[in-house]
Amino acid sequence: MEYLLVTFALLVASFIFIFSSYFRRKISNLSLPPTVFPTLPVIGHLHLLKKPLYRTLTTISAKHGQILLIRFGSRRVLLVSSPTAAEECFTKNDVIFANRPRFLAGKILGDNYTSIGWAPYGDHWRNLRRISSIEIFSPHRLNEFHDIRADEGRLLIRKLISECSSPVNFKSVLQEMTLNVLMRMISGKRYFGGDMKEEGKQFQEIIKEAVLLSDTSNLGDHMPLMRWFGMKELERKMIILQKKRDAFLQGLIEQHRTVDGIEPKNKKKNTMIEVLLQLQKTDPDYYTDEVIRSFVLNLLSAGTDTSGTTMEWALSLLLNHPHVIKKAQKEIDSHLGKSRLVDESDMSSLPYIRCIVNETLRMYPPLPLLVPHESSDDCVVGGYHIPRGTMLLVNQWGMHHDPDLWNDPERFQPERFESLESTKDGFRFMPFGSGRRSCPGEGLALRMVGLTLGLLIQCFDWERISEEMVDMREGPGLTMPKVQPLVAKCRPRPITHNLIALNM
């Protein structure tokens, strides 16, 4: 019997081996995608890559094709700019493209590729995603944290009422609010608006620098030779940042581990750090302090800039299109009357607010090239052979601005999302990515952004600081910040004082 089983297992293994080699040979007989001529020795196509990268890559794709194989130094890059090709990458090839390329930032700031955003596809990454989807992003947990978001929304309105006699810098106001929401969910702490502002500013700087240093276009990541020259300085900066941030986060962990030196007993584990420390007790070798630190940091750096910047772009667009504000105010007033502030639960009855958010994400997606992926095996995209180890860049900015996919794409027109057609085709509009590696924070981000915009529109009338339109140019940086932070004037609406009196 045993002999039969072994023979059967050997037969199955040989069959799988023969079949996969046959399949591999078939794939490798296909041709590679077209490239851009010429590919220069050593640098490949790096000389073509002016910043902002997503705009340059859009021009390259328009000229040479929507599926291209280019080279960043020694690295092969599959550049995809069509919804059908993106769909192939994130459906039938999703597992193959679920890896991340290994950049210096992932080694140092991603703690040797162990943080959720940098980890290769495998058991560790799956486990982090599982914990995050149960402990933070599940609808149940998001509902538990509802009060934090509602509270921060109300505090924001109050702050603006007291400061709106002069123009307000909305970049910092919105970034601070986002960080407060995430920090309260993660550690129960509120950094801005209380006496911890200095600590908050320090941490905000850490996140800002981490995002800056993680840029995809660091040369040394694509040209190994550069590591020995230009990368030393970058590496030094990353190591200094890593130490600063570890000290900060370790402090947070210690505060939760003990209270006056004594572990809190029977305390309900509520914040993210408390949940992770609880897991550490059951499996200390796996849930080390290092894993907890890098997990928390990754959530904060992935969530703060992206959400804050989206709100800032949305407000800027609204200031340049006052009729959209009026239409949204009308929708809110007729749904809520004059006695209740907007709540997250109203969003399904306020479709125009959702259209504004979608249209903002279409025009200014905070991660215009998503986050780079890497193939772990040979595969086929668009009928071309894509060798294992190829970095994938999906130019969603290019797709969001493609006149063949969107009518008059440079025009801000939230109404385009009123018809189901626009959101149905997920691969021409995917600000949160798609497939296994898509954004786990999408639900949280949409709640935060929708609620904040809803409140700002409901409670204030808006004005630009001059006759000139708000500057809509994009600045340098991973999350597509505005070149000029948004400064604007707002005035409480006649109904606002009543709303505040009834709801605060």
Which residues define the annotated binding site for heme? 439
Minimal distance, residue 438 CB to ligand HEM, in Å: 5
Minimal distance, residue 303 CB to ligand HEM, in Å: 3
Which of 116, 173, 231, 276 touches ligand HEM (CB under 6 A)?
A: 116
Minimal distance, residue 446 CB to ligand HEM, in Å: 8
**Cα separations in angstroms, 367 against 116, 155, 300, 480:** 17, 29, 15, 7
CA distance 458 to 370: 32
Binding segment (CB under 6 A) for ligand HEM, from list 46-54, 79-87, 322-330, 427-435:
427-435
Any bridge partners for residue 79, and if so which?
68, 393
Tell me the H-state helices in 337-427. 351-363, 396-400, 421-424
CA distance 177 to 154: 11
> Residue of minimal CB distance from ligand HEM?
441
Q: Interface with ligand HEM includes 241 (CB under 6 A)?
A: no
Give the β-pairing of 391-394 and 460-463. unpaired
Ranges assigned E (strand) in 200-336: none
Q: Interface with ligand HEM includes 307 (CB under 6 A)?
A: yes
**Token pair of 189, please?**
């702490």
- Name residues contacting ligand HEM, limited to 260-299 (CB under 6 A): 298-299
H or E segment and range at residue 56: helix 53-64
Q: Interface with ligand HEM includes 437 (CB under 6 A)?
A: yes
What b-and-e string marks burial along 352-362, b requiring 16 or more CB atoms within 10 Å of the CB?
bbbbbbbbbbb
Of 173 and 439, nearer to ligand HEM (C-beta) is 439
10 Å CB burial of residue 404 (0-12, 13-18, 19+) is: exposed
Q: Interface with ligand HEM includes 366 (CB under 6 A)?
A: yes
Of 158 and 208, nearer to ligand HEM (C-beta) is 208
Q: Which string of x and - marks every residue 71-110 that binds ligand HEM (by CB under 6 A)?
A: ----------------------------------------
Of 223 and 292, nearer to ligand HEM (C-beta) is 292
Binding segment (CB under 6 A) for ligand HEM, from list 7-15, 50-58, 239-247, 302-310:
302-310
CA distance 315 to 464: 11
Residue 386 dihedral angles phi and psi, to the nearest 5°: -110, 110
Q: Interface with ligand HEM includes 458 (CB under 6 A)?
A: no
Minimal distance, residue 441 CB to ligand HEM, in Å: 2
Does residue 122 contact residue 116 with C-beta atoms inside 8 Å? Answer: no
Which of 60, 370, 391, 490 touches ligand HEM (CB under 6 A)?
A: 370
Q: Interface with ligand HEM includes 400 (CB under 6 A)?
A: no
Any bridge partners for residue 396, and if so which?
none
Q: Which residue has the tokens 């919105």?
A: 174
H or E segment and range at residue 78: strand 75-80
Which of 101, 433, 450, 481 touches ligand HEM (CB under 6 A)?
A: 433
Q: Interface with ligand HEM includes 496 (CB under 6 A)?
A: no
Of 313 and 329, nearer to ligand HEM (C-beta) is 313
The residue ranges that bind ligand HEM (CB under 6 A) are 116-117, 129, 182, 298-299, 302-303, 306-307, 310, 366-367, 370-371, 431-433, 437-441, 444-445, 449
